[in-house]
Chain A
Amino acid sequence: MSMIKLIAKNSFRHTLRVILTIVGISIAVLAFGLLRTVVTAWSAGVAASSPNRLVTRQAVSFIFTLPYAYKDKIAAIPGIDQVSYFNWFAGTYIDKNQFFARVACDPETLFKVYPEYQLSSNEKAKFMSERNACILGIETAKRYNVKIGDIMNIDGDIYPGKWQFVVRGIYTPRTKSDDATQMFFHWNYLNERMKSDYPNRADEIGWYVIKIKDAAASATISQRIDNLFKNSRAETKSETEGQFQQGFVASSGAIIGAINIMSYLIIGIILLVLCNTMIMTARERTREYAVLKTLGFTGKHLFTFIAGEALIISCIGALIGLSSLIPIVQGFESVLPKGWFPVFNIENSTYVMAGSSALLVGIIASIVPIYRALNTRIVDGLRFNG
């Protein structure tokens, strides 16, 4: 018989209690993982942002536009590699509940500033050559079963009217944390309609995305861009893409903060559940620990027995919780409004945090029982009737 066998036999002595404890830990690990996934999904834009990209928007608010004429002026600033531009289109596809980002872009520069959106050269060429062509992220294409060559009809709201797009490409993201849900189409297509129907809205840009040569120069270049348009009719605010995304996340900061706190409270709950089990277990075995000491087992052995038992229980709970996380996250995502979170993946860090938290909880939960077992005199332990 090995120490491990002895620990394993002891761990399952009270089957019902241990099963309930393991179930409690599994649910807590699952809830922790799910909440962390929500938090990371919320911050996915920040995580996926590149330090080499700046975003320039209207200084007053993102909802106001900037002149198209700024493009060349920005491009002339030293240190800038590419300037691309976008307009938030919104609109309704099928019905108002079907959400995914629909964005007018400059096809020529889109893939230069966003190399993470991967499209075959054939699809890229077709997208660029057709005025009303669009490309879709693979997730959205799958969701609506849209194929290359299909027509997508969208009712405009910010940009009124009926809009028709031909799908000419389906892009795939380079990594799991890149957004695979967006729709991009020609800014020129949008601008031409504006020129004819709403001339005062023509040649307006939602935001510029600027690829810079050296990430370390981001602050200086941002400053230079903003200085360039100071006291103009549309002053700019330039910042790194990460800061820009963070601004969106910050608006939901209280909710994220609350979710974060909840996720850590759950770790506290696991700790209480396991502590309770371990303290009860150790108390019931006071006499056995005294017998083991009498036989010559030392404090080090008792430490191994008790901590080992707590770790076995917490590890099994963590394994069950983590292995249930993928289907639960998929189920959770399916009941969320479509497109709510463009990226809803379980990060590796979530697995690591949940798993290591469970291990840590196992160790902490055994501290009190170990202390008691070590500090109970053998003669007192032998007299114990629990």
Chain B
Amino acid sequence: MSSIISISNLTKVYQRDKQEIRVLNNISLEIAQGDFVALMGPSGSGKTTLLNIIAGIDRPSSGNIIVADTQIASLSETELAKWRSRHIGFIFQFYNLIPVLTAYENVELPLMLTPLSKSERRSQVELALNVVGLGDRMHHYPKQLSGGQEQRVAIARAIASDPDIFVADEPTGDLDRVSAEEILTLLDRLNKEFGKTIVMVTHDPYAAKRAHTTHHLEKGDLLQEESKL
């Protein structure tokens, strides 16, 4: 299967005062299209930084990264924003929904950047909310939803614009076991039914079991790969 994410010799260094902190150390990684990958490791191991770089919301200090056939490190901020809106669906640990918008409006947000008509947007939003099982909660505000439902709205927001890759940062980290199970099942469906590539950062070995491949990071180094395929 062809790689949708190709990383070679990627390094990320932060400057804090006069001290250099090496967060990612010469990472090379290939992720195939349609794969479901978990990134695991202790806190500070660099897994979220790697996820952020893959999603184009952070930049590497050196090395190459090609995502969805694009050398994302060379894009300008505006180009990168447009690229993200087309290719990346982001799922956050704390959902990050806009509290003054209904579930429908939150899901519609990324579609505001597309040339879709109002009725096309409506059908996309309704489809996305139905996929996550919240067709009957469209006009509820985030505070009227449970944590699991909020995360499902966040997933609907991520899938609404039909991106190639989903990046999920601890998507079950703030949920109880039942809700976490629902979210993992949903991610599984996106991967299996819709062929989406998923890269998920998690601390939870149970969540990681759903992935086809698990990569472990420690102190910025990529350790071993576990494949279940």
Contact = CB atoms under 8 A, between A and B. Distances in A.
Nearest to B85: A296
A287 B78 CA distance: 19
Interface residues of A, number: 21
Interface string B169-182: 00000000000000
Contact of B90 (A3, A294, A297): A294
Given A1-B108, A299-B78, A294 B98 contact: no
A44 B85 CA distance: 60
A258 interface: no
A363 B58 CA distance: 30
Nearest to B110: A295
A296 B113 contact: yes
B96 A296 contact: no
Interface string B33-70: 00000000000000001001001011000000000000
Contacts of A287: 96
A124 interface: no
Interface in A84-99: none
Nearest to B87: A296
A378 B100 CA distance: 21
Contacts of B110: 295-296
A291 interface: yes
A294 B55 contact: yes
Interface in A285-315: 287-288, 291-299
A233 interface: no
A291 B57 contact: no
Dominant secondary structure at the B interface:
helix
By CB atoms of chain A within 10 A, which of B81, B101, B113 has the most? Answer: B81
A223 to B, nearest CB: 67
Nearest to B55: A294
Interface string B86-126: 10001010001011110001001110110000000000000
B205 to A, nearest CB: 25
A296 B81 contact: yes
B84 A379 contact: no
Interface stretch (A5-13, A63-71, A152-160, A353-361): A5-13
Interface of A: 1, 3, 6, 9-10, 13, 287-288, 291-299, 377-379, 382
Interface of B: 49, 52, 55, 57-58, 77-78, 81-82, 84-86, 90, 92, 96, 98-101, 105, 108-110, 112-113, 157
30 contacts: A1-B105, A1-B109, A1-B112, A6-B101, A6-B112, A9-B101, A13-B100, A288-B98, A291-B92, A291-B96, A291-B98, A292-B109, A293-B57, A293-B81, A294-B57, A294-B84, A294-B90, A295-B109, A295-B110, A296-B81, A296-B82, A296-B84, A296-B86, A296-B110, A297-B81, A298-B77, A298-B78, A298-B82, A299-B77, A379-B58
- Please name the 7 residue pairs, one residue from A and one from B, whose CB atoms are nearest each other, closest first: A296-B85, A378-B57, A291-B96, A9-B100, A298-B81, A295-B110, A296-B84
